[in-house]
Amino acid sequence: MEGDRMRSKKKATAFFTRKSYLIAAAIMVVAAFGMIGLYYSQQDKKQEEQLAKEQAEQVQQAKIEDQTRENALRKKAEETAKAAQEQQAKAEKKEKEKEKKKEKEKEDETEAVSGIIAPQEDDFLDEPAVISGAADTAPIPEPEFHFNAVEDLTWPLQGNVIMNYSMDQTIYFATLDQYKYNPAVIIQAEVNSPINAVAEGIVTAVETNEETGATITVDMGDGYSARYGQLKEIPKNQGDYVENGEILGYISEPTKYYSVEGANLYFQLLKDGAPVNPMEYFE
């Protein structure tokens, strides 16, 4: 009996010993899987952090590239405006030199003529007496012009209208990068293109300003006037008569206000000094 109990006890001890080993092995397997899962979890976290870092670097690089492009565009616009100013200054200088040359030629011509006129004989006994009267002092009547608003104007040149007249709402000016009212039509043109008068009239002003450059204004009668800007080599002076279709000048390089739009004709139609839409009158 005693032997049987000893054998039973040994068997029980061996069973529990094997069971302990199995439990320990199971714990080790679970721990191993846990360690593997923790390792991969850490690797995934590192990859996510690396991806987030790379995306942040890409965003920063894109911002730098955008800023670089913006700076390049701004610099190009400034250079274009500066070149336009220099070209305008050269054109004005050339125009002044031409005017001085014309004045000098007139003075030389006057001196030459005055030098060859021979003195006439002063024999008042043979000449009839000249009695001065009202006919000698009567002023020469100025020509009258009548602008017919019903009839269409002739175009000053053939070209695309790149900016329409707009006084009821603002439109975008690319060079100025802002919205403004436009009291004229801006017609695309090539430099040196001739500009023709849209109707007959009298020149009331020839001037130069920063926005429209060399500009000539013609009174066409009945309160209507036409203003032509962005010109050069204007052959007329204030008070000169202008025929319909006569050349009033040539397209110049654009002023700094229209450097992005490019060379163009600034054409404005006025009624009693207020701008009106020229497109309603053109053929």
Q: pLDDT tens digits for 106-147? A: 776 655 544 444 444 444 344 444 444 444 444 555 567 778
Per-residue confidence (pLDDT) for residue 135, from 0 to 100: 42
Q: Residue 236, Cβ neighbours under 10 Å: how many?
A: 18
Q: Are 268 and 229 in contact (CB under 8 A)?
A: yes
Per-residue confidence (pLDDT) for residue 103, from 0 to 100: 79
With CA atoms as reference, report the closest residue to 226 among 210, 209, 242: 242
Low pLDDT (below 50) residues in the chain: 113-138
Q: Are 228 and 264 in contact (CB under 8 A)?
A: no
Cα Rg, the chain, nearest whole Å:
46
Residues of the chain above pLDDT 90, percent? 42
Per-residue confidence (pLDDT) for residue 112, from 0 to 100: 53
Strands (E), the chain: 161-163, 166-173, 178-182, 185-188, 194-196, 201-209, 213-221, 224-232, 241-242, 247-251, 264-271, 274-276
Q: Are 179 and 170 in contact (CB under 8 A)?
A: yes
Per-residue confidence (pLDDT) for residue 154, from 0 to 100: 86
Tell me how far apart the alpha carbons of residues 85 and 173 are, in angstroms, rounded to a whole number: 18
